[in-house]
Structure 1
Amino acid sequence: MGATNRRHTEETIWSAPFVILMASNFFQSLAAFTANTTLPLYIDRMGASAGMVGVIIGAFAITALLIRPFAGPAFDSFSRKRILLAAQGIIALAFLLYSFARTSWALFAVRLLHGLGIGCAGPVAMSLVSEYLPMSKFASGVSIYMLSQSFAQVIGPAAGLWMADAFGFQVTYRIAACMLLFSVLAITRVRETPRERPPYQLRLDRMFAREAVGKAIVLTLFAAAFACVGSYLVLYANRLGIADIGSYFVVYAICLLGTRPLFGRLADNFGAERVLLAGVACFALSYVVLSQAATLPGFLVAAVIGAAGFGSCVPLVQTLAMASVDAERRGAASNTSFTGMDLGFLVGPAVAGAVIELLDMATGSILEAYSLVWLVMLVPLACAFAIILRWNLRRGSGQRQR
C-alpha cells in the first residue's frame, strides 16, 4: 500500500511549485494579452503604416533571439528561479515604459527591451515547470500549465480593449506592469529542487539542443502564421465596422480550456505526432473561415475552430522538444523551441504587413488585402503539416521495426 501511495504521489502533476508557477504564468499572460491586443491600435493611431505596425509588433523577437545563445546555458547552470525573477522584472519595466512612449520609434525601442525579458521568461519557466512533472503525465502537465494562459486570454484581450477605451493606453500599460509585479511575487514562493548544474559554458550544445531543432522549425511556422492574428485581426475588424471584436479572443480562450487538456490526454495515449495532424488541420481551417468572415459570428466560428489549432498544437510540440533530451538538458531544449517561436513572431508580422500593402496596391482595397492575407498564412501551415506527417511516418516505421 505504501509503495502504491508513493507512486501515486510521484505521478501527480499537482504540486505546490506547479500551482505557484501556473499562477505566475497567469499574471504574466494577463498582462501580455491586456496590452498586446491594444498595441496595434496604439501604433495605428500614431499614423504608422501596416508594414510599420508589423515591424514594431515583431521587434521584441530581435533581442529575444540575440539573448538566447547566452541564456540557454544559464538555464541549466544557474538558478532558474532567479533568472525567471529577473526576466519578469524586465518585462514589467517594459510595460511601464510603454505608457510613456509617444512615437513609433519610442515604442520600437521599448519593444526591444521587452524582448530581453521574453527571451528568458518563457523557456526558463518551462524548464522550471518540467522539474515538477512526472514523465508519465508530461504532455498533460504541460498542457494544463499552459491553461493559465487560456484563463488569462479569456479576460485579457477584451479587458485591454475596454481599458484602452475607458482610461487610455497609458493607464492600460501601467495596470499591466502591476500584473507583472504580482507574477514576480508568486515566483518568490517557489522552492527549487536539487539538480545537477553543469558549469556555464558558451558551447553550441549547451545553447541549443540538436534533438529539438525540428520541433523549433515547426514552431517557427506556427508562430509566423499566428502572429498575423495578433497584429492585424483587430485592425481588420475595425475597418469592417465590427464592434466587440474582443469577444473573438474570449471565445477562443474559453474553447482552449477544453481543447488543451483534451489534446494533452490524447497525446499521452496516442502520441503527440498523431494528434498534431488534426490540430494543424483545424488551424488552417480557421484561417479559411477568417478570410470569408464579414460579421462577428463569422469571426467567432473561426475562434472556435482555431482553439484546436495554434493554442493546442504549441504545447504538444514543446512537449516533444522537452522529451527529446535528458532532464539536465531541458533548458537547452526549451531555449531551442522558444527560439523557433521568436523567429516566427519576428518574421510573421513583418511579412504579413508587407503582403497586406502589396495586396492593397494590387486590389485597390485594404479590406480585400486583409481578407486575402489569411489565405497566404496557409503556406507556413502546409509546410508544418508536411513535417509533422514525416514524423508520423518515421514513428510508424520505427514501431514496425521494433
Structure 2
Amino acid sequence: MNRATASGAPATASQSGAAPASTLAIASIPLAVLFSFMAIGSVLPVLPVYVKGPIGASDVAVGVVIGAFAITAAIGRPFGGKLADATSRRRVLMIGLVTASIGGAMLFLPLGVAGLVAARLVVGFGDGWIFTSGVSWIVDLTPEERRGQVIGIFGISVWGGISLGSVIGQAIYSAAGFEWVWAFATVAPLVGLLISLRTPTPGPHAPSPSPSEEVASAELGAPLPGAPLPVTSGAPAGGSPPRAAGRLPRLPSSAVRPGVALLFANIGFGTLAGFIVLLLDGEGIGHGAAAFTVFTATVVASRLLLGWLPDRWGARRSALAGGISQAAGIATIGFAASLPVVMVGAVLAGLGIALIFPSLALLVVNATDPSARATAMGWFTSFFDIGVAVGAPFAGLVASTGGGENYSAAFFAAAAVCLAGAFIGYLGTRNQPRTAAVA
C-alpha cells in the first residue's frame, strides 16, 4: 500500500507503491518547512519599520525584537528532539507549526515592544521543534545513500523560505499594511500543517550517517541522523543507553574555536536581518527587502553550486575565504553608495555565509571522535543561534550611538567582527587535537 503501515513503519522498497509514498514524503516535509520559514522571512523586512515607526522604539529595540527568535529556537530544539523520539516526528512537527502560527497571531496584539518580543519568542520555540522533527523525519524516510542529498534539500527549504517570505512580506506591506503581513505570518505555518497531515509516518531509523551528512544535519539544529537515532517508541536503537535526562553534556574542545568563529559570522547575519531595510531607507535608496532577498538567494545558489569547496579546497581555507567574502559584503552594504553597489555587497555576503557553516562544521567533525560527534555538533550549532541572538541587538546598540540611526557604523562594526571570526576559524584550528568521547 502507498501509506505508512498501521504500526507506523513506512512501507519497504519491496512493497507495492512504497517508492511513491516515500518520494511524496521526502518532497512534502521540506515543503511544510518552507511555508513555516516563509512566515519568518515575511516579517523580517517589516518588523524594523514597525518598531521604529508606529511603536516609536529605539534601534536597540529593533535588534532585540529581531534576535529574540534565535534564543527560543535554540532552547526548543532539544525538547522537540526528545519528544519526537518518544512519540512521533509528525506530532512534534504539527505542534511546532501550530506554535509558530500562534506566534504570528500574537503580532496583532497592541503590546508594544514587549508584545513583539513575546511573539518572536513563541515563533522561535515553534520553529525549533519544526527544525528538529523535520530533519529527523526526512532522514527516517530516506535510503542511506540519499540522506546527504535530501538533508541538503531540507536546508535549502529554510533559506528559500526566508528568501521568498521577505519578498512576499514586503509586497504585502506595500499593498495593504502591517496587519496583512501578520496575517500571512499566521496562515503560512498552517499551510505547512495541512501538508504534514498527508505525510507518511516514519518507522525504525536508519544506520549512522557519514561525516558529511552530520555536517549537513548540524546546520539544521536537529539531532543527527545517526549514532543511531532512537525508534519512535522511545527505545534506544543499537543498544546504546540514552544520556541521563536533564544532564547537559560537556562542551567538547573541538567545537570551541569553530563555534566562536561561527558566532562572530552570525553577528553579521543578525545585522543584515535587522537593519538592511532601515539603512537603505535612511540613505534614500530603499529596496532593502530586495537586497535581503538577493543575499538569501545567493546563499541557496552557492550551496547548490559550491558545496564541494570545503572538501576539495580544505575546510580551513574555505572558512577563511567565506569569512573574508562575508566581511567585504557587509562593509560594502554599509557604504550604501547606490543600489547596485548594495546588491554586490549582498551577493558577497551570501557567498560568504554559504561557505562558512559547512567549512567550520567539517573542522568540528574531523577533530572529534565519532562517538562524540553528536554532542560536538549540538554545541557547535548553539553558537549559530547565539550569534543571531547577539548580532541584531549588537548592531542596534552601535546604530544608536552618535545621535542614533547610525546604521552604516553598525554594518562596519559587524564586518570587523566577521573578519575577526574568519581568522579565528583559520588560525585557531591549526593542529586542533582530536576530541575523544564526551561524558
CA distance in 2, matches of 1:339, 1:261: 24
CA distance in 2, matches of 1:165, 1:210: 48
Picking from 425, 434, 438, the partner of 1:388 is 425
Match of 1:48, SS state, is: coil
2:422 alignment partner AA: F
Q: Residue 68 and residue 304 in structure 1: after superposition, are their counterparts in 2 closer, same or farther (change >3 A)?
A: closer
Gaps of 5+ in 1: 1-5, 7-13
Gaps of 5+ in 2: 1-13, 15-21, 206-229, 237-241, 435-439
Match of 1:88, SS state, is: helix
Q: Residue 372 and residue 135 in structure 1: after superposition, are their counterparts in 2 closer, same or farther (change >3 A)?
A: farther
Q: Is the 8 A contact 2:76 2:126 kept in 1?
A: no
1:32 alignment partner AA: I
Picking from 371, 387, 395, the partner of 2:408 is 371
Once structures 1 and 2 are overlaid, which stretch shifts more, 66-75 or 114-123?
Answer: 66-75
Q: How does 1:299-378 map to 2 (within 5 A)?
A: 299-315=342-358, 317=360, 330=374, 335-358=378-401, 360-361=402-403, 366=405, 369-378=406-415
CA distance in 1, matches of 2:159, 2:81: 26
Q: Is the 8 A contact 2:277 2:286 kept in 1?
A: no
Query: Residue by residue, what CA displacement relative to the aligned partner does 1:81-116 show, whole Å, maximum 9, x if unpaired?
Result: 322221221111101111234522221222222232
Q: Residue 183 and residue 126 in structure 1: after superposition, are their counterparts in 2 closer, same or farther (change >3 A)?
A: same
Question: Larger relative CO (CA 8 A, sep 6+): 1 or 2?
Answer: 1
Once structures 1 and 2 are overlaid, which stretch shifts more, 144-153 or 134-143?
Answer: 134-143
Greater per-residue helix proportion: 1
Once structures 1 and 2 are overlaid, which stretch shifts more, 103-112 or 60-69?
Answer: 60-69
Residue 318 of structure 1 and its aligned partner are, at CA, apart by: 5.3
Match of 2:182, SS state, is: helix
Q: Is the 8 A contact 1:164 1:172 kept in 2?
A: yes
Q: How does 1:277-292 map to 2 (within 5 A)?
A: 277-292=320-335
Residue 191 of structure 1 and its aligned partner are, at CA, apart by: 2.9
Q: 1:85: which partner in 2?
A: 94
CA distance in 1, matches of 2:98, 2:352: 31
Residue 309 of structure 1 and its aligned partner are, at CA, apart by: 1.6
Q: 2:204: which partner in 1?
A: 194
Q: 2:153: which partner in 1?
A: 144
CA distance in 2, matches of 1:226, 1:68: 20
CA distance in 2, matches of 1:351, 1:254: 25
Whether 2:26 is the aligned partner of 1:18: answer: yes
Whether 2:31 is the aligned partner of 1:31: answer: no
Picking from 203, 214, 217, the partner of 2:247 is 203
Query: Residue by residue, what CA displacement relative to the aligned partner does 1:196-233 show, whole Å, maximum 9, x if unpaired?
Result: 3435722223x977765555433322222210111111
Query: Residue by residue, what CA displacement relative to the aligned partner does 1:261-303 show, whole Å, maximum 9, x if unpaired?
Result: 1232333445544432222221111012112222211111111
Q: Is the 8 A contact 2:325 2:348 kept in 1?
A: yes
Match of 2:398, SS state, is: helix
Once structures 1 and 2 are overlaid, which stretch shifts more, 17-26 or 49-58?
Answer: 17-26
Picking from 285, 289, 299, the partner of 1:256 is 299
Q: 1:167: which partner in 2?
A: 176
Residue 341 of structure 1 and its aligned partner are, at CA, apart by: 2.3
Residue 238 of structure 1 and its aligned partner are, at CA, apart by: 0.8
Q: Residue 313 and residue 124 in structure 1: after superposition, are their counterparts in 2 closer, same or farther (change >3 A)?
A: farther
Match of 2:308, SS state, is: helix
CA distance in 2, matches of 1:25, 1:242: 33
Q: Is the 8 A contact 2:45 2:288 kept in 1?
A: no
Residue 153 of structure 1 and its aligned partner are, at CA, apart by: 4.0
Q: Is the 8 A contact 1:68 1:119 kept in 2?
A: yes
CA distance in 2, matches of 1:297, 1:371: 17
Q: 2:278: which partner in 1?
A: 235
1:49 alignment partner AA: S
Q: Residue 69 and residue 156 in structure 1: after superposition, are their counterparts in 2 closer, same or farther (change >3 A)?
A: closer
Tell me the matched-pair count: 378
Query: Residue by residue, what CA displacement relative to the aligned partner does 1:168-218 show, whole Å, maximum 9, x if unpaired?
Result: 21111112221111222333304324133435722223x977765555433
